Amino acid sequence: MNEYLGTIVDVEIDRPLGSRHPKHDFFYPINYGYIPNTLAPDGEEIDAYVLGEFEPIKKFRGRVIAVIKRKNDNEDKLVVAKTLNSYSKSDIEVLTEFQERFFDTEIICCGSRKTKPYIRVTTLGLARRQDEILVTEGVDALADTHFYRFPGGGVEFWETSEEALKREFMEELNAEILSANYLCKIENIFEFEGEKKHEIILIYEVKLPNEYYEKEEMILNENGAIGKALWIDKHEFLNEEKILYPTEIKKWL
């Protein structure tokens, strides 16, 4: 079940915190449930421990931070929390000991708590078509939020922000940037799918070949993930009908 590590899952809680095991004489000190529409080796749905919720709950959406492999049983378990790297292997061992003490287990964690966070430098391009701006679609599955953002991406080592922007537009939209004029810098501190993020964004106003202003939508290829870029009236963002990230960029529209 290692393929679940790091993924976002929905957990149905059938044994909430404080409830008694239906067969054995112990109580659940944490919420415990299953992942709907999955299949474990025992023929049932995959079970999951939920960490970080201190009241009985019915449903939970979070990331799989660990897999508990039972060497003497075929019912491996998932461990789910709001954010990755929020619990160490020893934390998980202590919190699940009430039930896992009966088995010979190995805990496989997603990543390491010792991974040092970093500040990412990104560059984005603002293209205008009268009152419309070119944006890409995004979804925060954990927060259930649909948002938009200018096309662009990360700046690589030994690359200027303008060079990175031209590369990103070519890679993702197959579009050549004819001109790029520096607009502003924004420091963006936010959470995405439960993970804390910090980026410095360099934003340029760009001009594209005429054919891109004639299209309503364009295919976006972002590291193999297919999405789309489209023109949206800027007033939909200014009037907060749609979400544009980073929000500070709205003053430049």
| Sign (positive or negative) of CA dihedral 5, 10, 13, 16 | positive
Tell the residue number behind the tokens 């709907």, with chain if given: 36
pLDDT for residue 78 is more than 80 = yes
Give the pLDDT confidence score for residue 113 in this predicted structure: 45
Which residues does 228 contact at the CB level (< 8 Å), separation at least 6?
136, 137, 217, 218, 219, 220
> Mind listing the domains of the chain with CATH numbers?
2-109 (3.90.80.10), 120-252 (3.90.79.10)
Give the pLDDT confidence score for residue 111 in this predicted structure: 67
pTM for the predicted model, two decimal places: 0.72
Give the pLDDT confidence score for residue 42 in this predicted structure: 82
Give the pLDDT confidence score for residue 91 in this predicted structure: 92
Does residue 164 or residue 224 have the better pLDDT? 164
Give the pLDDT confidence score for residue 195 in this predicted structure: 81
Does residue 196 or residue 65 have the better pLDDT? 65
Q: Where are the alpha helices (DSSP H) in 19-125?
A: 89-100
pLDDT per residue over 118-141, tens digit each? 899 999 999 999 999 999 999 988
pLDDT per residue over 195-251, tens digit each? 889 999 999 999 999 999 999 999 988 766 778 999 999 999 999 999 999 999 999
Are 121 and 154 contacting, i.e. CB atoms less than 8 angstroms apart? yes
